[in-house]
Structure 1
Amino acid sequence: MTLSILRIGGDTFTDYEGLLTLILRSFAYMDPLIDPPSSAHRLTVAGLKEKARDEIGLVAHDDGQLLGCAFLRPEPDFLYVGKLAVDPDLQGRGIGTLLLREAERIAQDLGRPSLRLETRIELVGNHARFGAWGFVKTAENRHAGYDRTTSIEMQKRLA
């Protein structure tokens, strides 16, 4: 497998339908585990195109086949990593690591000292994976209308 990262948002990327399918497939395992439901279910092709214009969209691909993605949003002190997704059949092959390395490079180019992300409280496997990648829990949050913690924030300080 020859992985490469493509920055999307311009005319160089057109497979937003495939990207939506990738995200929905990669987030599907969460459906019976999390409450409230994932915001991935509200994504549309048009919404992804807009997201790619407003944020920094990345796709990992191998000869045109979509393998993973992430959307990065600059914040005052962080680069927020959202919708990090890897094809479920290809997880564990370094695709997520490659996307996060590119996020780190972009954060440093933008002068952001840290990456930030959020993950659902129920997804302890994600907590462990992000911890192995150097992220630490920094906050607990709740979605509107919930009286319990529904997600955690994790940050990774860059060198």
Structure 2
Amino acid sequence: MRQLGSDDDFREVLALIRSAFAYMQGRIDPPSSMKRLTVADLARAAAMGEVWVAGDPILGCVVLTPAADALHLGKLAVADAARGTGLGRALVARAEASARARGLPAVQLQCRVELTALHGFYRALGYVEVGRSAHPGFDRPTSVTFRKQV
């Protein structure tokens, strides 16, 4: 596993995220923010936090952003060919190690309400639901917030 370094890496990661999140099209409302994600966004995320990748070619990634009370885990993506290999769990473990190294007490993430299989994935790793929130313009929860003390 390594942190991102070059624009070529960012382009490869963006392609992975778009491919891995494609199944959400038509399943979540509002649509995923990955449609607006750019190479520049990933470069800014790396400058503000950490973007970790695994594999060559890249088969998995995770974007980590520090906050006052937790490390935010976002854009966890695993290529279809690598699903079921433990790569997603390894990337989450990387996030937890980064939180500890930064002296942060927890890792926190948001997952769309509709993606119940992912809820089970995070719960199996010890994450607990701590809240629900709605995207602007929605009168119902659209995201579930999960958190794990590290």
- Once residues 70 and 40 of structure 2 are traced to their aligned partners in structure 1, the CA distance between those partners, rounded to angstroms, is 27
Match of 2:30 in 1: 36
Tell me what 1:108 maps to.
Answer: 100
Shift of 1:16: 1.8
Residues of 1 paired with 2:119 and 2:58: CA distance?
A: 25
1:93 aligns with 2:85: yes
Q: Aligned-pair distance for 1:124?
A: 0.4
| Secondary structure at the counterpart of residue 122 of structure 1 | coil
TM-score, scaled to structure 2? 0.95
TM-score, with structure 1 as normaliser: 0.90
Post-superposition offset of 1:46: 2.3
Q: Gapped runs of 5+ residues in structure 1?
A: none
- 2:92 and 2:37 map into 1 onto residues whose CA distance is 22
Give the whole-Å Cα distance in 2 for the aligned partners of 1:58 and 1:21. Answer: 15
What is the DSSP-based 3-state SS (H/G/I as helix, E as strand, rest coil) of the residue aligned with 2:138?
coil
Matched, 1:49 2:43: yes
- Find the partner of 2:59 among 52, 56, 67: 67
- The sequence identity of aligned pairs, in percent, is 40
CA–CA distance in structure 2, aligned partners of residues 18 and 60 of structure 1: 12
Please name the residue that 2:3 is paired with: 7
CA deviation string 1:12-50 (max 9, x = no partner): x73222111100011111112100000000011222222
Q: Report the alpha carbon displacement of residue 148 of structure 1 after superposing the two structures with TM.
A: 0.4
Question: Which of residues 14, 20, 23 in structure 1 aligns to 2:17?
Answer: 23
Q: Name the SS for the 1:46 alignment partner.
A: helix
Q: How many residues align?
A: 150
For residues 87-123 of structure 1, give each alpha carbon's deviation from its aligned partner in whole angstroms, at most 9, with x where no partner exists: 1221110111111111111111111111100000000
The offset of 1:74, in angstroms, is 0.8
Q: Which residue of 2 aligns with 1:58?
A: 52
Q: Give the residue type in structure 1 aligned to 2:47.
A: R
| Root-mean-square deviation (Å) | 1.2
Q: Deviations over 1:106-151 (max 9, x none)?
A: 1111111111000000000010011011111000100000000100
Runs of 4+ in 1 over 4 A off after TM superposition: none
Give distance in 1, aligned partners of 2:9 and 2:64: 19
Which 5+ residue runs of structure 2 have no aligned equivalent? Answer: none
